[in-house]
Amino acid sequence: MAEEDKKPVAGEEASADAPAGLSRLSKNKKLTIAVIAVAVLAVLGIGLWSWGTSPSFCSALCHSPLDNYVAGYYEGDAGKAVTVHAKAGMSCLDCHDRSTARQFGEFAHWATDSYQVDEEGFLVKDGSMLTKEFCTREGCHVWENVVDSTWGFAGNDEKYNPHASHQDAAITCSDCHKVHRTSELYCAKCHNMELPEGWVATSE
């Protein structure tokens, strides 16, 4: 009688195996869900990173004071250096620092409304980043090439070259080149010269 008690009842094997089968199915489902979740997060991360490097990102969250800068990036004004950079496929972050410390600092200024803008809505900043050292850093402009390519610029006499000026170090890149405003030809203060497209003569 004891041996008979040990015999499995019909259907008992199936029920005994069922939890193991369900367990395997559950593991497969969990693995699939995990893979899908990782893939979705990866795609979202790549998308956010790509958007984070585009000009539109700069004004999407902060709005003022960056709307003017982003609008200028897209407007195609030949007198602004940002247009040349945009046509070359460069974005804001190719020139502007994206370090975490810098971004936190800028966010703090925006959140506390502690930044200053001028009458045109541009940030009031100390000095300019457009120095010869900055513009000729690795991967950007090569000074010798700049000098060689600007003799007789804008249809002027071949003897004129603003990058080989008798002013030497008295003037710097930002005296003429304006990234987000209209560029000014400093030389035209003294010389009667043709202006590059979209530029104006320095009046002061």
Domains of the chain: 25-116 (no CATH), 127-204 (1.10.1130)
- Please report the pLDDT score of residue 66 as a whole number: 82
The parts of the chain modelled with pLDDT lower than 50 are 11-16
CB 200 within 8 A of CB 184: yes
Sign of CA dihedral 78, 80, 85, 144: positive
Query: DSSP letter string over 22-65?
Result: HHHHHHHHHHHHHHHHHHHHHHHHHHHHHHHTSHHHHHHHH-TT
Cα 158 to Cα 195: distance, rounded to the nearest angstrom: 14
Phi–psi pair at 123, nearest 5 degrees: -60, 140
Amino acid at position 158, single letter: E
pLDDT digits (tens, 9 = 90+) for 42-81: 777 676 666 666 676 666 665 567 888 888 999 999 999 9
- Please report the pLDDT score of residue 14 as a whole number: 46
- Please report the pLDDT score of residue 179 as a whole number: 94
Phi–psi pair at 39, nearest 5 degrees: -65, -45
pTM higher than 0.85, yes or no?
Answer: no
- Please report the pLDDT score of residue 113 as a whole number: 81
- Please report the pLDDT score of residue 129 as a whole number: 87
- Please report the pLDDT score of residue 92 as a whole number: 86
